[in-house]
Amino acid sequence: MAFKKPSPLPGFGLSLGYTVFYLSLIVLIPLGALFCRVVTHMGFAEFWKLATTDRAIHSYQLTFGASLIAAAINAVFGTLLAWVLTRYEFPGRRLLDALVDFPFALPTAVAGLTLADLFSRQGWLGRYLVPAHIEVAYTPLGVVIALTFIGMPFIVRTLQPVLENLEREVEEASATLGAGRLRTFVSVILPTIMPALITGFALSFARAIGEYGSVVFIAGNKPGKSEITPLLIFLRLEEYDYTGAMAIAVVMLLFSFVLLIGINLIERWASRFQN
């Protein structure tokens, strides 16, 4: 009689069952219910009509476009910030490092109110920017700034461990061979941190797409100009247009699935690259 080899992890079956049950209850069932609701209550033609109205298209363009720009800005300046925090010792370094996580701890509504007040016509910065014809509050530019604020920690925290483990002997060898600082960074450092940078960029982009609280106060929420997709879904629900809200929500959900798959593929590629 053949005996089943015991698992090296005691209680693995029970733990796996609980994990699948909990994940299904919190994530899979609600998302599956949304898909089933759309499939059973509207055909593809009606779904496409509701999901591609002019107002919805403008909200997609602003949400994805502003998120992409914000993630790109964070990729540049977040890399610089991670480099400074990792490579230099200076007074206040620990405080600055702690402030990186501030967007995580700060309620998004508070962040939105603060940014809106700061860049309004009478705000500390707005009083100088508005006369120079640079309007931030209640414009798409304000949306980009809000999304940059909430996405910055993802770049910094993703890059810091890689920079800390980067061997400086490689940089010294590059300098010994006559390469300047810029050439060393482009040829030696950048290829090493690129997988982590791409991962941080993707995480920052994904976080920005679903942001609501910090954007709604500074955007102005003008249809066709500064209205983001999460807000449009909320407005559809307030109007009791549940089918319209679900159609737009499914579009965002499908894009989120694609983005999640992309992030996982990037992380696998990064792990192979680093190994």
Contact 229, 248 (CB under 8 A): yes
49/23: higher pLDDT = 49
* Structure tokens belonging to residue 3: 């005996």
More confident residue, 26 or 59: 59
User: Can you give 5-52 as a three-state secondary structure string?
Assistant: CCCCCCCHHHHHHHHHHHHHHHHHHHHHHHHHHHHHHCCHHHHHHHHC
Of 87, 269, 273, nearest in space to 184 by CA:
87
Summarize pLDDT for 137-154 with one digit per residue, the tens: 889 999 999 999 999 999
Side chain identity, residue 163: L
Question: 42-274 belongs to which homologous superfamily?
Answer: MetI-like (1.10.3720.10)
pLDDT digits (tens, 9 = 90+) for 30-53: 778 777 877 777 888 888 898 999
Stretch 195-202: mean pLDDT: 87
Averaged pLDDT, 5-22: 72
Determine how many CB atoms are found less than 10 A away from the CB of residue 208.
29
Q: How far apart are CA 228 and CA 226, in angstroms?
A: 6
| CA 258 to chain CA centroid, nearest Å | 14
CA quadruple 157, 162, 168, 170: dihedral positive or negative? negative
| Of the candidates 213, 185, 210, 201, the residue with the CA atom closest to the CA atom of residue 263 | 201
Q: What confidence score (pLDDT) does residue 6 get?
A: 58
pLDDT of residue 1: 47
Domain boundaries, the chain: 42-274
Give the span between the Cα atoms of 62 and 139, in whole angstroms. Answer: 11
